[in-house]
């Protein structure tokens, strides 16, 4: 399997990218947009063996994290920085016709790009465990918090009321919430990409989103795109887990708004069905891409 790594100059910094496989035939490349902001591409490497028979996978670390980490600069962390980076990467790599898969924040990025920039050459989009409304996301996270212990609920409520997010009780409660709805803490048995050390985009996450998943207070707080979704006319696949941060209500809200969308709900997954139900996810994804090349 061919693997190419490189860097693209961007805003005076360097955006790291990783290209797996070789392009041939009618199969269009799949660009993978990671979550966060600030999560890195690493977890997408569990999909590497999809890059066969002409299917090329392109993944990259968005500016501000991983191998694209930069010195502190809060002014960078706006949707425009990352959308323009995606457009620049397509041009840099000559990606005229592509599929897009965005997970979590990556799906938001995908929606912003498609709705506000009307890019050409998008064969299909996969919205993986993502959202079209920051306010609905916050509402659903707070609904799920109510299923936690009284102590954890109190610790989270106190942090949100005071703005103090370093209290040990809050940190422990937030960790439990994320294990329940995002992902387990990696162990030595986890796939290597999940265990690998990385440079997290902490500043980009806090500045753009907020201190946690349920308190959007950053530059992305105004993110409300549900009403724009009906303008999307390319094939769109929505994927999510039953115990996902992207709850069934969040996913269904997108499904209801997008013309002719398809939605796959994974029964045994949290925020990363492509990890927790990998074989089923890959089978669905491969069929989807082949259908829409």
Q: Which of 39, 244, 246, 269 is catalytic?
A: 244
Q: Which of 39, 41, 99, 104 is catalytic?
A: 104
Tell me, yes or no, if 269 is annotated catalytic: no
Nearest to 114 by CA among 33, 219, 232, 28: 232
Query: Which contacts of 183-187 are long-range, i.e. CB under 8 A and separated by 24 or more positions?
Result: 183/270, 183/271, 183/272, 183/275
Q: Which of 34, 41, 181, 271 is catalytic?
A: 271
Tell me, yes or no, if 227 is annotated catalytic: no
Q: Give a three-class secondary structure readout of the chain.
A: CCEEEEEEEECCEEEEEEEECCCCCCCCCEEEECCCCCCCCHHHHHHHHHCCCCCCEEEECCCCCHHHCCCCCHHHCCHHHHHHHHHHHHHHHCCCCEEEEEECHHHHHHHHHHHHHCCCCEEEEEEECCCCEHHHHHHHHHHHHCCCCHHHHHHHHHHHHHCCCCCHHHHHHHHHHHHHHCCCCCCCCCCHHHHCCCCCCHHHHHHHCCCCCCCCCCCCCCCECHHHHHHCCCCEEEEEECCCCCCHHHHHHHHHHCCCCEEEEECCCCCCHHHHCHHHHHHHHHHHHHHHC
Tell me, yes or no, if 104 is annotated catalytic: yes
Backbone angles phi, psi at 24, to 5 degrees: -160, 160
Going by DSSP bridges, is the β-strand pair 262-266/236-241 parallel, antiparallel, or unpaired?
parallel
Q: Indicate which residues carry an active-site annotation.
A: 104, 244, 271
């Amino acid at each position: 399997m061919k693997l190419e790594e490189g860097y693209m100059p961007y805003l005076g910094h360097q955006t790291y990218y990783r290209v797996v496989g070789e392009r041939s035939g009618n199969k269009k490349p799949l660009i993978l947009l990671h979550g966060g902001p600030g999560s890195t591409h690493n977890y997408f490497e569990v999909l590497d063996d999809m890059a066969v028979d002409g299917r090329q996978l392109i993944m990259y670390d968005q500016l501000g994290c991983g191998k694209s980490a930069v010195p502190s600069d809060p002014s960078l962390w706006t949707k425009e920085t990352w959308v323009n980076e995606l457009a620049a990467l397509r041009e840099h790599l000559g990606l005229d016709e592509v599929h897009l898969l965005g997970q979590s924040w990556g799906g938001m990025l995908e929606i912003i790009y498609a709705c506000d920039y009307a890019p050409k050459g998008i064969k299909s989009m996969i919205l993986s465990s993502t959202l079209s409304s920051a306010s609905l996301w916050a509402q659903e996270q707070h609904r799920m918090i109510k299923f936690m212990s009284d102590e954890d609920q109190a610790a989270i409520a106190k942090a949100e009321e005071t703005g103090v997010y370093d209290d040990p009780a809050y940190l422990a409660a937030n960790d439990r919430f994320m294990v329940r709805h995002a992902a387990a803490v990696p162990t030595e048995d986890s796939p290597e990409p999940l265990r690998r050390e990385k440079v997290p985009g902490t500043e980009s996450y806090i500045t753009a989103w907020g201190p946690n998943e349920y308190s959007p207070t950053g530059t992305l707080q105004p993110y409300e795109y549900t009403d724009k979704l009906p303008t999307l006319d390319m094939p769109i696949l929505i994927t999510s887990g039953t115990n996902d941060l992207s709850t069934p209500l969040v996913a269904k809200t997108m499904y209801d708004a997008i013309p002719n969308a398809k939605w796959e709900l994974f029964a045994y997954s949290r925020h990363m069905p492509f990890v927790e139900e990998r074989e089923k996810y890959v089978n669905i994804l491969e069929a989807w891409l082949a259908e829409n090349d």
